[in-house]
Amino acid sequence: MRRTLVVGNWKMHGSFADNADLLAAISSQATRFPEVESAVCAPFPYLAQVRELLAGTPVKWGAQNSSEHVAGAYTGEVSPAMLREFGCHYVIVGHSERRTLHHETDALVGAKAVAVLSNGMTPIVCVGETLDEREAGHTAQVVTRQLDAIIAALGADALARVVIAYEPIWAIGTGRSASPEQAQAVHALIRQRLAGVDAGLADDIRILYGGSLKPGNAGALFAQPDIDGGLVGGASLVAADFVAIIMAGQSAQSA
Ligand code: PEP
């Protein structure tokens, strides 16, 4: 059985004081839900603090982006080798905000996933369609194109070590989550596509849902057969909400 994974994406939020309170609350509660794996992906300047405060707790940590290069003349970039030195377990790759605001292409997202994996961390690769694409009936086509770029970049062996996050762009930060049925349909499509590469891989790989996940909708989403946890933005900044989502993961896991 796939172990539920709940990952917080802090985006560009935080301060030393707020982080300390948030991390203390999350890490003290997370021990109550041993069947769920949890992690937070913090902005780069806070990784040292996050490592210090989460070391020895069940909560893992990670980053929200990585360079595809390991070292060199890339001013302003952060190397996957450096993230590894911070003890990062996860790196979010290809978040829609990176694809849209920073023009990251499918090929670049694939190269970043390779770089993260080859530096010993797990990429959480995001895919998802815009509202226009959904309304035009192009969801399957868009998600398949994004996924195929990852499959091509990684190949079957490496693919087994990634996490995929389906994040419909129209649901991110809007308060309008995909319904459990809408999300399940896309998760099933992703798993089916992965099964075309390797059936065992498709069974094992974790596919997270992201997009306005809240305590009130997490249970129904996590109850879907192909939803293995969540990538949580806004609600990961509120300790009680993030913990409630982890708790929903535990209920789904034990159901
Ligand atoms: C995200 O940032 O990846 C996300 C899903 O945000 P939110 O949960 O706020 O929609």
Q: How far is the CA of 76 from the centre of ligand 1 (A)?
A: 24
- 232 vs 149: CA distance, rounded Å: 24
- Residue pair 4/38 in contact by the 8 Å Cβ criterion: no
Give the start-to-end residue ranges of the domains of the chain: 4-233
- 221 vs 243: CA distance, rounded Å: 16
Whole-model pTM: value is 0.97
Q: How far is the CA of 73 from the centre of ligand 1 (A)?
A: 32
Rounded to an integer, the average pLDDT of 36-44 is 98
For the chain, what is the mean pLDDT? 97
- 248 vs 233: CA distance, rounded Å: 16
Ligand 1 atom closest to residue 165's alpha carbon, by position in its atom list: 3
By most ligand atoms within 8 Å of CB, the mutation choice from 232, 236, 237, 238 for ligand 1 is: 232
CB neighbours of residue 164 within 10 Å = 26
- Residue pair 169/128 in contact by the 8 Å Cβ criterion: yes
Per DSSP (E only), the strands in the chain are 5-9, 37-41, 59-63, 90-93, 122-127, 163-166, 206-210, 229-232
What pLDDT is attached to residue 219? 97
Residue-by-residue DSSP string for 166-195? E--GGGTTTS-PPPHHHHHHHHHHHHHHHH
Confidence class for position 253, pLDDT limits 50, 70, 90: confident
Q: How far is the CA of 105 from the centre of ligand 1 (A)?
A: 20
pLDDT, one tens digit per residue, over 85-137 is 999 999 999 999 999 999 999 999 999 999 999 999 999 999 999 999 999 99
Confidence class for position 1, pLDDT limits 50, 70, 90: confident
What pLDDT is attached to residue 255? 80
Ligand 1 proximity of 236 Cβ (cutoff 6 Å) = no
Q: What is the percentage of the chain residues whose pLDDT exceeds 70?
A: 100
Rounded to an integer, the average pLDDT of 13-21 is 98
Architecture of domain 4-233: Alpha-Beta Barrel (3.20)
Q: What are the beta bridge partners of residue 61?
A: 40
Please report, in angstroms and rounded to a whole number, the separation of the first and last CA atoms in the chain.
Answer: 12
